[in-house]
Amino acid sequence: MKKRVLAIAMATLLCVGVFAGCGGGSSSGGSSAPAASTPASSTPASSTSSASEPAASGEVEYAMIAGTSTPDTHPYNLGMVRIGELVKEKTNGAVTLDVFGNSQLGSERDLIEGLQLGSLQMTCVSTAPLAGFTDAFLVFDLPFIFATTEEARTVLDSEVGLEILHSVDDQGLKGLAWFENGFRNVTNNVRPITVPDDLKGIKIRTMENQMHMAAFQIMGADPTPMAMGDVFTALQQGTIDAEENPVPIVATNKFQEVQKYISMTGHIFSPTPVLISADYFNALPAEYQEAVQAAATEAAPYQREQIDEQNVSGLEELTADGMEANEPEKAPFQEATAPIYDEYIKEGAGMVSPDIYERVNAVLAEMR
Ligand code: EAX
């Protein structure tokens, strides 16, 4: 908690220090929306250029802050840092992005709300905590909907995938690009998970998402929703036996220090929208909007490469550090979680829209 408060204070200082407000010219210090109409010269530390015009000589006009739930070495953070580098380059230093990892600025839900409130400008999060904002992302929470990473990426980059990304655009948010978290696997301290029955009685942390909890309940586990920032300690103290995440999350969080087994179940694929505060984005000069969008688009393939690399290097690290890895046959898990499809694909709040499901399937059918 202390760490988090300190980080917010630091972030605010950074913000205020640069330009008396993240808003580049706004005198309200820390407010989210850049006051594009306010001449930057009205604030003490400002440049002489108007915030609505591109910087002439590399002065910072818009100092953006991003938060993530992941360590600095995770591909989320590497991807966000890359966006910062690209946007700086494209705007001759006028727009910058500082990245605060490790849930320092809050849980993923806090980060999303932070964009709406204006306490930070950008984030990238799992789609699961977005369930409270829109139902469009829920299709990705269907177990085993994608057989391969290539399938997932093709759907994300398709028309329906981009429509899902932009489904938050009327919620004070704007989707910029699809990053990726990847296929989730189970880690635990009780036994290797080889068949669904092995999950019986295991207390497993899941994300705060009904469908994830239901999937583990069906397999006989005891799911507990929890924010990422609390997971290491809960595993260490034994209040939970297990968690489920892609290899890069497990390795960068050093869960091997508190978990003995990793079972490559690949039960759910987590895509990751890159989000910006809509108010902030809309108030940027058009030229900077284009730069921010282009930076996010260009960073996405790099971010996915980092996931590919860390899926390999991370697993090597985990096993070298003593974790026992196994690759169970997927079919029994797929059969066990099939009722989720019947239960959740229907019209209504908190459900997977049958239309979205069909459109995703149409993209998949073309590939299969
Ligand atoms: O979004 O909460 C989770 O398990 C997520 O996979 C992770 O924090 C990255």
* pLDDT value at residue 259: 98
Q: What percent of the chain has pLDDT over 90?
A: 82
Residue 328's alpha-carbon distances to 103, 203, 262, 331, 334, in angstroms, are 32, 20, 10, 9, 11
* pLDDT value at residue 52: 46
Total Cβ atoms within 10 A of residue 117: 14
pLDDT band at 57 (very low <50, low <70, confident <90, very high): low
How many helices (H) and strands (E) the chain has is answered by 13, 11
Nearest to 203 by CA among 194, 213, 211, 195: 213
Ligand 1, residues 68, 69, 184: which to mutate, most atoms within 8 A of Cβ?
Answer: 69
pLDDT reading at 69 higher than 50: yes
Q: CATH assignment of 185-269+311-367, given 3.20.10.10, 3.40.190.170, 3.40.50.700, 3.30.1330.10?
A: 3.40.190.170
Q: Which residues line ligand 1 (CB under 6 A)?
A: 69-70, 108, 125-126, 181, 207, 228, 245, 249, 270
Residue nearest to atom 6 of ligand 1 (CA): 245
The continuous run of DSSP H or E covering 336 comes out as helix 331-337
Gap from CA of 57 to ligand 1 centroid (Å): 39
Gap from CA of 327 to ligand 1 centroid (Å): 21
* pLDDT value at residue 129: 86
* pLDDT value at residue 22: 38
Angle at 22 between CA 21 and CA 28, to 5 degrees: 35
β-pairing, 203-206 vs 222-225, is parallel
Ligand 1 nearest-atom number relative to CA 227: 2
pLDDT reading at 244 higher than 60: yes
Residue nearest to atom 9 of ligand 1 (CA): 126
Residue nearest to atom 1 of ligand 1 (CA): 126
Ligand 1 nearest-atom number relative to CA 129: 2
Ligand 1, residues 207, 224, 311: which to mutate, most atoms within 8 A of Cβ?
Answer: 207
As a three-state string, the secondary structure of 340-363 is HHHHHECCCCCCECHHHHHHHHHH
Average pLDDT for the chain: 88
Ligand 1, residues 206, 245, 269: which to mutate, most atoms within 8 A of Cβ?
Answer: 245
d(CA 38, CA 48): 12
* Intervals of CATH 3.40.190.170 along the chain: 2-134+150-180+271-301, 185-269+311-367
Gap from CA of 343 to ligand 1 centroid (Å): 24
pLDDT reading at 56 higher than 70: no
* pLDDT value at residue 54: 54
Residue nearest to atom 2 of ligand 1 (CA): 228
Average pLDDT over residues 222-226: 97
* pLDDT value at residue 34: 40
d(CA 151, CA 361): 10
Report the CATH superfamily, name and number, of domain 2-134+150-180+271-301.
Answer: Bacterial extracellular solute-binding protein, family 7 (3.40.190.170)
Nearest to 346 by CA among 334, 356, 361, 335: 356
CB 90 within 8 A of CB 294: yes
* pLDDT value at residue 6: 44
Average pLDDT over residues 93-102: 98
Average pLDDT over residues 187-193: 98
Average pLDDT over residues 324-346: 98
Average pLDDT over residues 52-64: 75
The structure tokens listed for 239 are 């209040």
Which amino acid is present at 42? S
* pLDDT value at residue 100: 98
Ligand 1 nearest-atom number relative to CA 246: 6
β-pairing, 261-263 vs 185-188, is antiparallel
d(CA 128, CA 210): 9
Gap from CA of 209 to ligand 1 centroid (Å): 11
Ligand 1 nearest-atom number relative to CA 74: 9
pLDDT in tens, 121-137: 999 999 988 988 899 99
Gap from CA of 68 to ligand 1 centroid (Å): 10
* pLDDT value at residue 81: 98
Ligand 1, residues 109, 112, 181, 187: which to mutate, most atoms within 8 A of Cβ?
Answer: 181
pLDDT reading at 241 higher than 90: yes
* pLDDT value at residue 128: 85
